């Protein structure tokens, strides 16, 4: 599986398994089984706005009842570093190492690497 890093931060641990067209997606999925939703937390909503693609806290997290609030928490890096975003053209082209992503108002280069293999159970 392909992982996506910015600096030392792992943004996505299984790029191929992210449900990009869903209302909310889990960016750091269970590494044991590869199924979205197996573990709690690490959910985002991918939103497009003119020339930008934003990785926002999941709407499920924001609007959930208190008892379910932690289930759909965003990845810790959103609380620590803010909302990452990139140019829509770069997003449409797929992730490559030369592309820039912005965190904390600073531009970083993406690091795309293969790290682990997930064998989802059918």
The residues spanned by each domain of the chain are 2-114
- pLDDT tens digits, residue range 61-83? 666 666 666 788 889 988 888 88
CB atoms near residue 58 (< 10 Å): 26
CA distance 87 to 120: 32
Note the pLDDT of residue 99: 64
Q: Give percent of the chain above pLDDT 90.
A: 7
Note the pLDDT of residue 121: 41
pLDDT at 103 over 80: no
**8 A C-beta contact, residue 36 and residue 13:** no
Among 6, 38, 47, 26, which Cα is nearest to 14's?
Answer: 26
């Amino acid at each position: 599986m392909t992982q996506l890093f910015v600096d030392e931060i792992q943004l996505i641990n299984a790029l191929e398994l992210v449900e990009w067209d869903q209302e909310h997606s889990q960016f750091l999925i269970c590494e044991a089984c590869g199924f979205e939703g197996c573990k709690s937390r690490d959910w985002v909503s991918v939103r497009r706005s003119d020339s930008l693609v934003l990785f926002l806290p999941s709407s499920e997290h924001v609007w959930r009842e208190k008892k379910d609030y932690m289930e759909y928490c965003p990845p810790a890096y959103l609380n620590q570093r803010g909302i990452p975003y990139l140019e829509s053209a770069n997003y449409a082209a797929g992730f490559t190492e030369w592309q820039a992503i912005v965190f904390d108002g600073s531009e970083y280069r993406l690091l795309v690497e293969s790290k682990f293999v997930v064998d989802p159970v059918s």
